[in-house]
A and B are shown apart, each in its own frame.
Chain A
Amino acid sequence: MTKSRQYMYLAGCASVLLIAVFVLFLGGLQAYATLITGSSSNKTDDGGLIASTACGEAVETLVSGVSMLPASSGKLGHEEHLSNVNPSHYCGTNSGDCSAIAGGGAFAPHTTEQERFYINSQWGGWDWTPTRNKKAPILSHEPGAAEARRVIAHAKLIVTITEPGVPTKSIVTSAEESGPALWVTDRDGVNFGAPPEVYNYLEGSSPYTGNPNDNSGRVNVGFAKDQSVTLGPCL
């Protein structure tokens, strides 16, 4: 073999080796990146603990790092019943006027128990600012908002009455409706709502006092850490 051929041979081997190392390096980088992003995208777990009740623990969120409630404390509005209930609408002694129906609600259809023990709030995943001006909320595209929207419908929340002078009681509710509008929150401090079956059980005062900072109808609200818990009073 002549010297020039030896050089060519060596140069060929070296270039192939360099390219192979480069390709392997890129592949390794990609695999590492996939590993990192794959592990960080699994975000659904429990949020911060709000309260321990007879129905289990209540937490701030079901999507780690994403705010799903306007606050963990607020005032519980007195709402009406919802339509689009399967198989039939509940009507008992604590149901108030069963013919007073607000509409289908944001997350219809509902089961009998979901409608009987529903809750509404200004859920994370939407921008509620327009509701202050009597305009509809819009989708939020903040990080985690889409994930929050995916898990909110029919999620179970534990509501505990914290109004001074009212015996402490908790009830498990289901997210079936959204709101109230922010102008209601500005006026009365109401940022949650529930039908008669829920607010009559809790025995809080009417929250519509015109004072957003008083304690009439004040409650603590958090997502049930155990989402398999049964809807209704925590006994």
Chain B
Amino acid sequence: MKKNYLYLILAVIFLAIVIFLGLSFYFDVQNKKQLTERSKEFVQIWGNYQDEASTSYINSLKDYISVEIMSDYQNNAQTINYYYSEGYEPTKSILVEKTEPKIKKENKNYLVILTAQRELVDVKKFEQNITLRWQRIDGAYKIVEIIANDN
């Protein structure tokens, strides 16, 4: 009788572990699919602008980025607006993706990596390797780090 209980307990533990791993795998796949799509959307908005310091541009990034990055953009607007008052023109940017985003999990974050062709209008054209770090904050994934290396 005792051995039967033992079998039952072992079977329940086994089943719980299988369900846990299965669900983890399922959510991981779903997260990767969703974040890859959101990264593509974000990069298009982020890299195509008429004025990096404009309120409409900064607000268009809001759904994707953390409060800290939003604050970085808002502080930058103060610096850049000063240049406009000195007669400098906004720098316009055009971005075209060159590679499909690749996603990988790193600890509890997801890293999305892609290469893009970038043009700062009338300034320079170059290639950039872009890495976005997504982190779950208050129940939603947000970008907490943007790294763009010029090639």
Give chain B's interface residue range (CB within 8 Å of chain A).
Answer: 35 or more
Question: Which chain A positions have C-beta within 8 A of B85?
Answer: 103
Question: Which chain B positions have C-beta within 8 A of A103?
Answer: 82, 85-86
Answer yes or no: A235 CB below 8 A from chain B CBs: no
Q: Once the chains bind, are B17 and A106 in contact (CB under 8 Å)?
A: no
Q: How far is the CA of A142 from the CA of B106 in the complex (A)?
A: 20
Partner of B84, one of A130, A132, A136, A150: A136
Q: Which of B8-16, B29-37, B94-102 contacts A (4 or more CB under 8 A)?
A: B8-16
Answer yes or no: A72 CB below 8 A from chain B CBs: no
Question: Which chain B positions have C-beta within 8 A of A108?
Answer: 78
Q: From known contacts A16-B13, A138-B52, A178-B79, infer whether A131 and B146 are also in contact, taking CB-CB under 8 Å.
A: no
Q: Which residue of chain B has the shortest Cβ distance to A15 in the bound complex?
A: B14
Q: How far is the CA of A134 from the CA of B86 in the complex (A)?
A: 10
Q: How far is the CA of A215 from the CA of B54 in the complex (A)?
A: 40
Answer yes or no: B56 CB below 8 A from chain A CBs: no
Q: Once the chains bind, are A135 and B11 in contact (CB under 8 Å)?
A: no
Q: Once the chains bind, are B79 and A130 in contact (CB under 8 Å)?
A: no
Answer yes or no: A193 CB below 8 A from chain B CBs: no
Q: Once the chains bind, are B14 and A135 in contact (CB under 8 Å)?
A: no
Question: What is the CB-to-nearest-CB distance from B78 to chain A, in angstroms, rounded to a whole number?
Answer: 7
Q: How far is the CA of A20 from the CA of B14 in the complex (A)?
A: 10
Supply 15 A–B pairs (Cβ within 8 Å), ascending by A. Answer: A12-B14, A15-B14, A30-B107, A37-B107, A130-B91, A136-B52, A136-B91, A137-B91, A138-B52, A138-B91, A139-B73, A143-B147, A146-B69, A146-B146, A178-B82
